[in-house]
Structure 1
Amino acid sequence: MPQLHDRASASQESVFSRMSRLAAQHGAVNLGQGFPPGAPPPFLLRAAQDALGRSDQYTPPAGLGALRDALGADLGVDGADITVTCGATEALNVLALSLYGPGDEVLMLEPVFDVYMPQARLAGATPVTVPMRLDPQAGWTFDLNALAAAVTPRTRALLLNSPFNPTGTVFTPDELAGIVALARRHDLWIVSDEVYDELYFGERPVSLRTLAPERTFTVGSAGKRLEATGWRVGWIAAPPGLSAGLGGVRQVTSFCAPAPLQAAVAAALPVARDSGFYDDLRAGYAARLALLAGGLRDLGATVFEPRGTYFLTALHPDWTAQTLVEAAGVAVIPGEAFYARHAAPHGLLRVAFCKSADDIHLALERLQRYGRGQS
């Protein structure tokens, strides 16, 4: 019998799916995989109901015109430069297939989100990771000189994530200016994963596309913005004139995202902006972040509070993700899941706070009981 190609047989269950499976198996509170516990906002659900029976057939591969226009208005770009995808994961894959190939290198920071490296390899390119530093006092720091030192004649693109999953880092304007100068000096593409663009604490993050519109591809996600991660509506905002080329790849991936969900997101985006939905979303997450961070500190963890995303990172010398899900009844993501070339800091965990306050309280109670049993 013929065999699957090595790229298929080497594939593994993602750590996020595995921890969610183990959470269900052990009856654990799932603070691992990043999805909210409840329904999306009512205005989004109403928009979906209105779209059913009206927007049910194929859309163009680039996306429903109404959604491209709504995204253009929301992001401050021309809707013609938007490509709609089946979630941000497909957006990143379309860009990998469109921007780099055999012989190319792609720079990314480590800890690294799990799809970045395999997508680069599937495109035939070599992922090159540059480590961030974690100091118990200063938290996560970024070294532009280390990034610059990793550039070679083969480097084709920089792949960045701000707000950054898993660290919660939001790059400062000076850091972004340095990244842009580096990209221009070496004529590199910039892939800017900004799926958490509305999930920040403090000043609004600066989008790289505003600093380098001629070379930046911005990836976004309705799932993150509108608490509907299973809807799989994402997008790419491309430099002017380059969307048509992305469309050629897009039509042979999933062809188009679900039409009624595209229509629903198109109707919901201006409502979310005008109604203050994002402000309320951030306020709710900030309260749950404070609850979780304070509880983990009380249990002996060193907590690094994020400036964006709905994850925090923490260090605890006596905890591992495997023992917590099995013995404490709390699922988190092990830090080593985000490392490939460098060693993860000992005891590093990523913990999601996009859950209900009740779930967070329950998780903290279980961790407290677990700690008492270990002492």
Structure 2
Amino acid sequence: MKYAAVTSNIAGLGSDKWVLSAAASRRIAAGDAIINLTIGEPDVAIDRTLVETAVSAMRAGRTGYSNGRGEASLLQALSDHYSDRLGRPIGTDRFLCLPGTQTALFLVFQALCDAGDEVILGDPMYATYEALIRASGAVPMPVPLDPEHGFRLQAEAVARKITPRTRVIFLNTPHNPTGAILRPEELRALGALAAEHDLWVVSDEVYGDLTHGAQTFTSALADPRFEDRTIVAASISKSHAAPGFRSGWVLGSAEFCARALPLSETMLFGSQPFIADMTARAVADDRALAHAMAARMARRAAIIAEALDGVAGLRVLRPEAGMFALIDIRALTSNSLAFALDLLEKTGVAVMPGASFGSALEGWLRVALNASDDATREACRRIADYAETRKGRT
């Protein structure tokens, strides 16, 4: 039988990336005591007032069809939030509401890219990015992110990748898996480069409210000179501990939203009104839950660094934001998948191999920061013992 080319373009780029997470889930279902540090789940339940808002909306009959852009109350809440964050008016006509950041980014690349176009992005990258790009027919053009620059994408490296086929510079700030935050001057340089070559800038900013310590986040939309070519995607999945509600949005120019709206309506003609009501309340609330979550995750990153940095040649990269720390295991092996699988088998600790996030992170592990402090310490003890054993065999 014949299939569309997209099925070949994205073959192996879906659940295959999450082998460790699936293996850990199977072990947990079988009753094994696994410390699962694979997925960026928030470490607390969603605020009960948000659940009650959704339930009340359902009881009030907010279960019918919506429209392609999103419910008016949510569009206004987003407008108010970003107007305040960016310090200039951001109209409601600049948003499209979709079920989560993943769907929002899928829409963006479908709207911007044709077959054979090129999308420049950093490597390492979030595990689904390559498939998002290839599903549009475009080709990912990874730029290795240098640890010497804190894994932050540099305009000079991007410039060397630009060709006549380049269409988009794809950013992720704060970055998954490294936790790096692009600096204002780096964003300005990338925006100027995009303007020079008439390119789009797409920025996944879902971790923007999860900065650690005194770190600050700057949106790719901060500089108004580049706002007509810059598109931001985000959601309440991380900031409000609501990943299962699948509620996100795109912020772009009014022209982009008008052009992308028919595609959005073709994909999904409107999100659920009761979820929109909940999201409007979440967007309008302060970020106390996110800030408390970020503080706990920064503390766990410090626990990991104190316990593992320097042990058996391991090095720990502490994040500036987000839900993950990185462990450099290159002193022990260059095969992060084999290491992670054996670590799970021998110790019951599940982490993500760096190879799931691009070739530049081979020889690293991504460790989620959402387990309790005690579970994190225990995981570190087991990892340290395992690493010492591995070192003794080399």
Task: Compute the TM-score of the two structures, normalised by the length of structure 1.
Answer: 0.90
Q: CA deviation at 1:373?
A: 5.4
Q: CA deviation at 1:205?
A: 1.2
Per-residue CA deviation, residues 179-221 of structure 1 (Å, 9 max, x unaligned), is 0110110111110110111011233211111212111110001
Partner of 1:187: 198
Partner of 1:8: 7
| Aligned residue runs from structure 1 range 88-237, under 5 A | 88-135=101-148, 139-201=150-212, 202-211=214-223, 212-237=226-251
| Residue pair 1:86, 1:256 contacting (<8 A) in 2 also | no
Q: Which runs of 5+ in 2 are unaligned?
A: 84-89, 334-338
Matched, 1:337 2:356: yes
Partner of 2:25: 24
Partner of 2:291: 279
209-218 vs 110-119, greater mean Cα deviation: 110-119
CA distance in 2 between counterparts of 1:37 and 1:15 reads 25
Partner of 1:293: 305
Partner of 1:65: 72
Which of 318, 336, 355 does residue 371 from structure 2 map onto?
A: 355
80-89 vs 363-372, greater mean Cα deviation: 363-372
| Residue pair 1:43, 1:268 contacting (<8 A) in 2 also | no
| Residue pair 1:160, 1:190 contacting (<8 A) in 2 also | yes
Matched, 1:50 2:89: no
| Residue pair 1:36, 1:355 contacting (<8 A) in 2 also | no
Identity of aligned residues (%): 30
Task: Compute the TM-score of the two structures, normalised by the length of structure 2.
Answer: 0.86
| Residue pair 2:168, 2:201 contacting (<8 A) in 1 also | yes
| Residue pair 1:191, 1:216 contacting (<8 A) in 2 also | yes
| Residue pair 2:13, 2:130 contacting (<8 A) in 1 also | no
The 3-state SS of whatever aligns with 2:54 is helix
CA distance in 1 between counterparts of 2:184 and 2:262 reads 34
Is the alpha carbon distance of 1:345 and 1:217 closer, same or farther for their aligned partners in structure 2, counting shifts above 3 Å? closer
Per-residue CA deviation, residues 33-54 of structure 1 (Å, 9 max, x unaligned), is 1112442122322222222223
CA distance in 2 between counterparts of 1:259 and 1:63 reads 8
Residue type matched to 2:37 in 1?
L
| Residue pair 1:111, 1:131 contacting (<8 A) in 2 also | yes
The 3-state SS of whatever aligns with 1:209 is coil
Partner of 2:318: 305
| Residue pair 1:133, 1:140 contacting (<8 A) in 2 also | yes
Residue type matched to 1:75 in 2?
Y
CA RMSD between the two structures: 2.2
